[in-house]
Structure 1
């Protein structure tokens, strides 16, 4: 009888320890924050195959739920065109753009921010990899200063509409690709 009690107690302790260990593993994965991946000389745009490092202007990336690698874009217009299409139904874990208040326009590296918190300048004279682009910023003051220097209209993420990100002015007419 004492052996059965000890065996039951051991099994219960083992089951409890296993549940705690497995539960802890799941929480660690869930707690891990999503971060943008940095581009390297071989990183290509998922839409057109262009090397991101070879072109000026802000870059972007979408992280889809259940997909290890992000979808990279050589231009923010491509990003918004993809996000705002009605057929885009995949679950999104995160979207990142570069803060052009900190990144070098000609060779942007790093300075990734959550796209939903970004401030954008549409219609400036500065061009990205596909021609006219949407400049992305973390700070509204930097977006306002950019718009004052280069022209354009300052917008928030939710204010960007599908008709503002038509690719027919850039990607479809790029003869250098």
Structure 2
């Protein structure tokens, strides 16, 4: 088999064309690149995308989901809403990142910061502590913190992938909100 020598200029042109095709492939359908998936922080005006509640006005863990092709995350005032949304069979949007707050570091009454990748976390289901929607699913980055919380407030510790649709109940939401 005989190889034809390729000039350096021709090789560089092919490499540049390949890089351009890769860059275009990384863009969204409309040609715009997708937004960063770093966690954002809530402020006084951040509202829940499901019910319009101001996140800063309510206790308990919050969540944000970054979907492919979306410039901003969808906000959830409660982790129960997060799991109810993500675990629906009709949820087909491509999830790029899911963040929840580490309640070992955030103040329960007014949580700020302490965001971490939900898929790596530990969650306490069935505790006595309530979030913005009533009974909530407490989120923790470390297993020891989740176990300590469960020992004090009840509930069982689960990993992200262990939470199933039948474990998520949104029926108490507005009934527990005395500020509406």
Tell me the SS of whatever aligns to 2:128.
strand
How far apart, in 2, do the equivalents of 1:33 and 1:50 lie? 25
Q: Which structure 1 segments of 5+ residues have no match?
A: 1-8
Larger proportion of helix: 1
Q: Give the TM-score of the pair, scaled to structure 1.
A: 0.82
Q: Is 1:55 matched with 2:58?
A: yes
How far apart, in 1, do the equivalents of 2:11 and 2:152 lie? 68
Q: In structure 1, what is the equivalent of residue 88 of structure 2?
A: 85
How far apart, in 2, do the equivalents of 1:127 and 1:87 lie? 28
- CA offset at residue 103 of structure 1? 0.8
Higher alpha-carbon Rg: 1
Tell me the SS of whatever aligns to 1:167.
coil
Q: How many residues align?
A: 168
Deviation track 1:8-64 (CA, whole Å, cap 9, x = no partner) reads x8x85884685487479679999x973111111110000000000111100001110
Q: Give the TM-score of the pair, scaled to structure 2.
A: 0.81
Q: 1:89 to 1:24 in 2, by over 3 A?
A: closer
- CA offset at residue 163 of structure 1? 1.5
How far apart, in 2, do the equivalents of 1:91 and 1:27 lie? 16
Q: In structure 2, what is the equivalent of residue 4 of structure 1?
A: none
How far apart, in 2, do the equivalents of 1:28 and 1:168 lie? 40
Deviation track 1:97-145 (CA, whole Å, cap 9, x = no partner) reads 0011111111111111111111000111111111110000000000000
Q: In structure 2, what is the equivalent of residue 166 of structure 1?
A: 169
Please tell me whether the aligned partners of residues 133 and 176 of structure 2 are also in contact (alpha carbons under 8 angstroms).
no
Give the superposed CA RMSD: 2.8
1:109 corresponds, among 99, 109, 112, to 112
Please tell me whether the aligned partners of residues 132 and 177 of structure 2 are also in contact (alpha carbons under 8 angstroms).
no
2:98 corresponds, among 95, 98, 104, to 95
How far apart, in 1, do the equivalents of 2:22 and 2:142 lie? 37
